[in-house]
């Protein structure tokens, strides 16, 4: 269980110890994606999502995406604090992506109407799991990055010593285009980058173009631990 007073570093550590459960769940539930992905065209993608609660009480939302012969699972853990809801995406390589309360509040508010919190979180992750992160000049932070997503931008700072990208603000398309519109072409190559195998390095040294690539689905993930 994640406590409201835990730091992002502590949450990332707990989530990485727990992530195997959500990976096995997603693999078992969507095992047909491994067969389907070989039949998809070059620019086609099959995307599914779901929710999962682990044995230790961690609340997960995940996306399973198939394209170009591969299936990747993107796990996102979320928890409540006194200020609202936080979320963190954990990946096999690179830093964790931490979305603070302000980001989640703006996004959940958009998708909560007519649904539940779980639905809002699923929608948040479906539009955010596949990001194109680029350096920027956001608020003069030491290492500022903006993640370009389908329906906007999330901006923040890379805390290299902690191996965490701390996203502080969400910009919708109209607002974000004025400030970060020059970064939008980076979305054109994000799916291609997901098919490339980069040299494995320490999380904090992973280049920004290899962040947020989830976990490759493997058949053994669906086997009992």
pLDDT tens sequence across 23-43: 999 999 998 887 777 666 566
Mean pLDDT, to the nearest integer, of 108-134? 83
Give a yes or no: residue 92 inside a domain.
yes
For 46-64, write each residue's pLDDT tens digit: 889 999 999 999 999 999 9
Q: Write down the pTM of the prediction.
A: 0.90
**Per-residue confidence at 224, pLDDT binned at 50, 70, 90?**
very low
Q: How many domains does the chain have?
A: 1
Give a yes or no: residue 2 inside a domain.
no
Domain containing 129 equals 8-222
Give a yes or no: residue 211 inside a domain.
yes
Rounded Cα gap, residues 168 and 66, in angstroms: 29
Residues constituting the chain: 225
Give a yes or no: residue 1 inside a domain.
no
Give a yes or no: residue 187 inside a domain.
yes
Which tokens sit at 195?
Answer: 């098919």
Give a yes or no: residue 174 inside a domain.
yes
Q: State the chain's mean pLDDT as an integer.
A: 87
Give a yes or no: residue 3 inside a domain.
no
- Which range of 81-90, 167-176, 215-224 scores highest in mean pLDDT? It is 81-90
């Amino acid at each position: 269980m994640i406590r409201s007073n835990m730091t992002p570093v502590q949450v990332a550590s707990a989530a990485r110890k727990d992530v195997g459960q959500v990976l096995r769940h997603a693999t078992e539930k969507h095992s047909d994606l491994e067969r389907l992905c070989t039949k998809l065209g070059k620019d086609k993608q099959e995307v599914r999502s779901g929710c999962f609660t682990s044995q230790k009480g961690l609340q997960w939302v995940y996306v399973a995406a198939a394209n170009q012969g591969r299936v990747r699972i993107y796990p996102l853990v979320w928890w409540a604090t006194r200020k609202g809801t936080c979320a963190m995406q954990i990946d096999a390589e690179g830093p964790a992506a931490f979305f603070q309360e302000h980001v989640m509040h703006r996004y959940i508010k958009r998708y909560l109407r007519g649904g539940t919190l779980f639905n809002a979180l699923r929608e948040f992750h479906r539009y955010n799991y596949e990001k194109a992160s680029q350096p920027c000049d956001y608020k003069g932070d030491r290492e500022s990055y903006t993640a370009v997503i389908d329906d906007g931008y999330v901006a923040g700072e890379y805390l290299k010593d902690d191996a965490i990208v701390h996203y502080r603000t969400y910009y919708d398309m109209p607002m974000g285009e004025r400030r970060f519109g020059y970064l939008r072409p980076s979305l054109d190559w994000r799916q291609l980058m997901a098919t490339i195998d980069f040299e494995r390095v320490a999380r904090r040294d992973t280049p920004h173009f290899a962040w947020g690539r989830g976990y490759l689905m493997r058949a053994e993930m669906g086997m009992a631990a």
